[in-house]
Chains A and B, each alone.
Chain A
Amino acid sequence: MSVPTPRRHLFKATAVLASVGLLAACGSTGAGTQGGGDAGGGIASEIKLKGIYDTTGPVAYAGVGASKGAQLAMEEIEEQGFLGEDVSISLEEVDTAGEIERASSEFSRAVADPGVAAIFGPVAGQQAATVAPMAEQSKVPTIFNQAGSEGVVIGDYTFRGTAPMGTYYDIAAEHLEKEGLTDVAVIYNGTYPTFAEIGQEIFPELAEKHGLNITSSQAVQSNTQDFTSQAQAIAQDKPDAVVMLLIAPQSVTALTQLSQAGYDGQVMATSVQAAGNVAQAGEHAAGLMYPVDFSAAQDGELAVDFVKGFEEKYGETPDAYAAEGYDSMWWLARGIKASGDSSREGIRAGLQQVAAEGFEGVMGDLTFEGNDMRVSGVLVEWDGTDEKLVTQ
């Protein structure tokens, strides 16, 4: 899953290119600095991290969730003495507020600080793709959550702690096949890269693999607000299921209008509908299913402990963003422990070592393609007020 990114202008891209150029001109300035570790390796007593992501603005939900998960993991790592009894981790957060140029300038500042050992990067795809070359250029290990776009995991120093939605959407197609819901209509947001990719490429391939027949495929834009025409066309065709790949406000309207048009078949959506984002659709959303990389309803031991710890700390149920932040922080800690070195180079090597082996997180068994996380995901059903597991 990736979060939507706002439109940007040319001057912002120019500012970003200028920042990258400046870093390049500085040559090995960033490369030579080793943050958070002893000069000769080893784990420093204080490991300084920087979090550069949206905690306000259109994708604040992703940044805030990831931050909460990471903070909880940090507490546990310190309490357990996972990296040593006297080792503490600090995470200094900066809000990018949906601005590419702000992400870029804050990232430049962070890499120039030799005390910063690693960075948790922006959650928005365009921001992440902007700073990724800077991370590679300055050789600062950077872990991104969300940011499902191309151009984010581009080398040895860029890592992603969120599995792209398309990599686990197979469980949705598998379920439709299992239930005999073979005639499927697709409605997708064609201007949102993740949904466009699933709607145009990934789901048609999955449909072929699972013997599903796509009866219609309709694209809409991110600013489409009314789905009456599409809903009526689908209701008239009466497919067994509808695959709905829309952003949060759109999905509330589309679900309502599908129901009002008389459609009562299965609707299969995406993790964007998780975390109560379809609650406003009320009864119209009951029965909606979607694959997620994490659900608070998961009953694995680690997941149950995580939910309990999160609820105790924040008084709320964790969402997938929090789980991703939590597992990403643990990935970092495991990496430092694996390499026995909290310097930038040590963290890079450790993260890659852990990625090569995989580990068990709250999202389940975590595997990696290079530096990019993969999860098997679970299918959940929204019953109108809460999520319940459909698959384990």
Chain B
Amino acid sequence: MQELLNTLTLGSIYLLFALGMALAWSTIGILNFAHGAIFVFSAFSAHFISDFVPLSMPAIILISVLVGATLSALTQWLAFEPILKRSKNHRSAELRILIGGIGVAAIPIALVDWATASAPFGFANSSYSTQVYEIMGLRITNTSLIVIIAGVGIAVGLTLWLRRSRQGLGLRAIGVDSETASLMGVNRTVMAIGTMAIAGGLAGLAGALQVFQLQAMGVETGDQLLIKAFAMIVLGGLGSMAGVILGAFVLAGAESLIFAANMGTWVDAVSFGLIFLVLLVRPQGIFGRQEVRRT
């Protein structure tokens, strides 16, 4: 039971990180490789300010979310939109956005690296303190509860918003065919910048909550999570937010089981091996739709 609770917490951390990335990728088609850098830079910005002024948890989260949203929206406006406009076709645009994302990511990461001299940073100066509860033999912290509620709550909320709201419908339309969506009155540019702002805000939220949960973050943390998030999205099925939720908890569950078996150095090999096996059977991912090619 304790392992299940640990899996739920770890899965929620993964989920919070992956949600923003999945949202942008599955709707406006932006696979943002700067997502990890935005995640790190947002948390670092909150750390930087909280070092001068002791801040509460909500204030730290707010700063991190705002920085993430701003950085992500600026990335879309100043980097990805010009790339999209100048690309001749969808395939070349995708490749250029990938490379552009890597380029953009290098800047905030270099700044954090320089400012921290590669030392881990956290919110040691925050007024928030973690409490441990023991309920029926299970140990859980207040931070874990916040992470689980935030992760699952936002994931479900986002899924419902995409499925049922008018804006969600517009976004999904862009994901299917952006030109037709534009003809139907969807303003692709505004929607794309807005989506990237939400994705960045989620990265900021994930960054702040991860630091509260794990106490520290290293400058390379974003890159490590980026690969896992990529795997979760592909496993769950691109375009399916429910798939991302499942992917996050499957990966966290696999990792917890491997750790429980004391095979810690096999975590990536076994977890990603399992994902590979699933994709052999269902290349579109667990909840992904089969692609139909018309000739």
Contact = CB atoms under 8 A, between A and B. Distances in A.
A353 interface: no
Interface string A247-269: 11100110110001110000000
Nearest to A235: B139
What bracket does the count of chain B residues touching chain A fall in? Answer: 35 or more
A260 B141 contact: yes
B217 A249 contact: yes
A213 interface: no
A256 B118 contact: no
B61 interface: no
Contacts of A228: 6, 9-10
Interface in A37-73: 56-61, 64
Given A221-B267, A256-B215, A281-B216, A64 B117 contact: yes
Contacts of A14: none
* Most chain A CB neighbours (cut-off 10 Å) among B218, B221, B225: B218
Contacts of A15: none
A190 interface: yes
Interface stretch (B155-163, B258-266, B287-295): B258-266
Interface in A176-197: 190-191
A225 B214 contact: yes
A216 B259 CA distance: 13
Contacts of B117: 60-61, 64
Contacts of B120: 248-249, 252, 277, 280
Given A218-B262, A221-B268, A228-B6, A279 B113 contact: no
Nearest to A225: B214
Nearest to A228: B6
Contacts of A229: 3, 6, 256, 259-260
Contacts of B141: 260
B121 interface: yes
Given A60-B113, A223-B224, A261-B139, A191 B265 contact: yes
B234 interface: no
B49 interface: no
A57 B117 CA distance: 8
A230 interface: yes
B14 to A, nearest CB: 10
A310 B254 CA distance: 49
A57 B218 contact: no
A223 B231 CA distance: 15
B260 A260 contact: no
B219 interface: yes
Nearest to B117: A61
17 contacts: A58-B219, A61-B118, A61-B119, A190-B265, A221-B268, A225-B214, A226-B213, A230-B259, A249-B218, A252-B120, A252-B216, A255-B215, A262-B132, A279-B124, A280-B216, A281-B216, A282-B124
Interface of B: 2-3, 6, 9-10, 13, 110, 113-114, 117-122, 124, 130, 132, 139, 141, 210, 213-221, 224-225, 256, 259-260, 262, 264-265, 267-268
Interface of A: 6, 56-61, 64, 190-191, 216, 218-221, 223-226, 228-230, 232, 247-249, 252-253, 255-256, 260-262, 275-277, 279-282, 284
